[in-house]
Structure 1
Amino acid sequence: MDDKEAARAAVREFLTTRRARVTPSDAGLPSQGPRRRVKGLRREEVALLAGVSPEYYVRLERGQATGPSARVVDAVADVLRLDEDERAHLDRLLAALTPAARRRNRGAAKNLVTPGIRVLLDSMDHLPAMVFNGRFDILAVNTLGYALLAPMYDLPGPPNSARFLFLEEPRARDLFPEWDRMAADVVAMLRIEAGRHPDDPDLIELIGQLATRSIQFRTRWATNDVRAQRAGAKTFRHPLIGEVTLPYETLRIDAAAGQVLTVYTPRPGSPEADAIRLLASWNADNQRHDHWTAGASGRDPDA
């Protein structure tokens, strides 16, 4: 499959899955009884509600429409009840149909963490912090971040959150009690990354590996759900500090496209902050100095 065919397939799969989840009653159309065979809306119903011809909507869903106007895309997005993340994802998929956009999208997430970001990580000695790229490779951590994610670092090779979640599922479920929610979020964020960088060979390899080896990943990938990375809270069942729910913030790194700094931010004086202090105390007595503590020590993990 060449680049253009892949871009068309991405549009088709996304719009088809979004159309399937909107029922006629959701859209204010009369139900046609139990004999209705189509799950969700038919293409002609989407066209009717969006104010375009059925022929045009078919071409749009197949990725064959040339330069659809913002008005048309907005109307289709409204009919399909796309949220903000899904609407932005659709824009990226449609833009990727043009050769110029496909060339622009070849730049993939980079692995090089700048010295300034490493200094910033090390300065946060009381908060767990780490740098991810869009493929969920962990590029750098401070000492507390390393201690918090220690089970990931017990495995061979560069740590990757998605691989850990799906290919080391029993361990991942031990570390993350809310595994199902976290797995859905990671797949939805990988979908966005695939829309941004459909030609990234490392991303293609990762998705292929996960799809081949994990039915949990395949099932979630087929839904075509998308979700942008935002602040939130994550629950850990840590072997040293027990079960704790930590709020976190995500900050995009302008100097390196695709990199995100994640910092866990328990409120001072809270039980969660006490748990992190306990982790810091343990870590001070048991620091490990091997290749993948590079993010904390300032060395380049790709060196």
Structure 2
Amino acid sequence: MSDAINNDAARLRALGDLLRARRAALTPADVGLPDGAPRRRTAGLRREEVAQLAAISPTYYAFLEQGRDVRPSRQVLDALAGALRLDDAERAHLHALVHDAAPAAGAGDAAQEEERLDPEVAALVARLDPHPAYVSGRRWDVLASNRAARLLWTDWTALPADDRNMVWFMLGDPRSRDVFVEWEAEARAQLARFRAAAERHAGDPGFAALIDRLHAASPEARSWWEGHAIAPLGGGRKRLRHPVLGELLLHHTVLTVAGAPEQKLVSFRLSPGDAERVAALLP
């Protein structure tokens, strides 16, 4: 079976998983339907109710949940997104699973090759000190980081190659709980962003190996993965804790690297006073 066929099958399974998870999370009252029978054997909406809300046949909807090889139109996906009360990120992910171009045959082998970062991008990251910055790749591997990021997060350059990964640091490395003041919210969001990427790369053995490793190491990763949460990339704020500097508030933005759209440059801004304190500790 070719890489492209494997990828298509994995995406369709992911589509079915997303539909089932969101259906189970809703009640008839959530969508304006009568409760019907006084006792439901399982939580959530019935398949027939979702099909009714989306104006499609129950059989067709069942095929979608089962991961059958059917290709719903964008109109059908929008109807399902409305029926299941998906947010904007989940709606976009639903479309990406079906209508984004799957990698061409042989792309799976290329995806396993070591990612290369433009040296000029790495130099830019270094110049941003004392404001932290790093670049992560398609699988959230840390491809470059400056001294400030290594001071406040961890020194990825000193870690084994498999541990130089933002998702692994967050969920597989217990030190992250000391670094992130709001660890649970940050970890949930990180996993939800990673899941969106993982399902676009369904069938990629590198993603599969990292997911298996996360599930083996982290009860939270196992539990939260079942919820099928999806989140978009975006800027915001983070509160970090440092043993010398105490708590720091950072604002960040995420930029895509030209020519390598799955590489992300994440740049953080400190207050002037905190920037001076970080600079004083840089090696």
TM-score by length of 2: 0.89
Q: Deviations over 1:100-145 (max 9, x none)?
A: 7253774649621102212322332342111111322111012222
Verify the 8 A CA contact 1:240 1:279 in the aligned structure 2: no
Q: In structure 1, the residue corresponding to 2:260 is in which secondary structure?
A: coil
More displaced stretch, 1-10 vs 180-189: 1-10
Number of the residue aligned with 2:42 = 38
More displaced stretch, 158-167 vs 254-263: 158-167
Report whether the alignment pairs 1:160 with 2:161: no
More displaced stretch, 151-160 vs 226-235: 151-160
Q: Distance in 2 between matches of 1:228 and 1:254?
A: 19
Q: Deviations over 1:216-255 (max 9, x none)?
A: 1100111111111100111111122111121101101122
Q: Deviations over 1:2-52 (max 9, x none)?
A: 725433321111110011112101110012365122311111001111111
- Post-superposition shift, 1:183? 1.1
Verify the 8 A CA contact 1:24 1:31 in the aligned structure 2: yes
Q: Deviations over 1:188-238 (max 9, x none)?
A: 111111121113222111111111222111001111111111001111111
Q: Deviations over 1:162-185 (max 9, x none)?
A: 22222222x211111211111111
Partner letter of residue 149 of structure 1? W
Number of the residue aligned with 2:134 = 130
Relative to structure 1, is the Cα distance of residues 274 and 33 closer, same or farther in structure 2, using a 3 angstrom cutoff? farther
Partner letter of residue 165 of structure 2? N
Number of the residue aligned with 1:297 = none
Relative to structure 1, is the Cα distance of residues 7 and 108 closer, same or farther in structure 2, using a 3 angstrom cutoff? same
Relative to structure 1, is the Cα distance of residues 39 and 78 closer, same or farther in structure 2, using a 3 angstrom cutoff? same
- Post-superposition shift, 1:155? 4.4
State the percentage of identical aligned residues: 37
Number of the residue aligned with 1:269 = none
Q: Distance in 2 between matches of 1:257 and 1:73?
A: 25
Q: Distance in 2 between matches of 1:214 and 1:126?
A: 32
Number of the residue aligned with 1:20 = 24
Partner letter of residue 232 of structure 1? G
Verify the 8 A CA contact 2:169 2:176 in the aligned structure 1: yes
Unpaired stretches in structure 2, ≥5 consecutive residues: none
1:134-145 equivalences in 2 (<5 Å) = 134-145=138-149
Q: Distance in 1 between matches of 2:160 and 2:80?
A: 46
Number of the residue aligned with 1:278 = 277
Q: Aligned residues, how many?
A: 275
Q: Distance in 2 between matches of 1:262 and 1:7?
A: 28
Number of the residue aligned with 2:89 = 85
Relative to structure 1, is the Cα distance of residues 114 and 189 closer, same or farther in structure 2, using a 3 angstrom cutoff? same
Verify the 8 A CA contact 1:176 1:235 in the aligned structure 2: yes
Relative to structure 1, is the Cα distance of residues 29 and 65 closer, same or farther in structure 2, using a 3 angstrom cutoff? farther
Q: In structure 2, the residue corresponding to 1:257 is in which secondary structure?
A: strand
Q: Distance in 1 between matches of 2:158 and 2:238?
A: 21
Verify the 8 A CA contact 1:56 1:65 in the aligned structure 2: no
Q: Distance in 2 between matches of 1:161 and 1:211?
A: 15
- Post-superposition shift, 1:60? 2.1
Q: Distance in 2 between matches of 1:127 and 1:63?
A: 46
Q: What is the CA RMSD across the aligned residues, in angstroms?
A: 2.3
Relative to structure 1, is the Cα distance of residues 164 and 126 closer, same or farther in structure 2, using a 3 angstrom cutoff? closer
Q: In structure 2, the residue corresponding to 1:150 is in which secondary structure?
A: coil
Verify the 8 A CA contact 2:238 2:251 in the aligned structure 1: yes
Verify the 8 A CA contact 2:152 2:179 in the aligned structure 1: no
Relative to structure 1, is the Cα distance of residues 146 and 9 closer, same or farther in structure 2, using a 3 angstrom cutoff? same
Q: Distance in 1 between matches of 2:55 and 2:11?
A: 25
Unpaired stretches in structure 1, ≥5 consecutive residues: 267-271, 288-303
Q: Distance in 1 between matches of 2:230 and 2:76?
A: 21
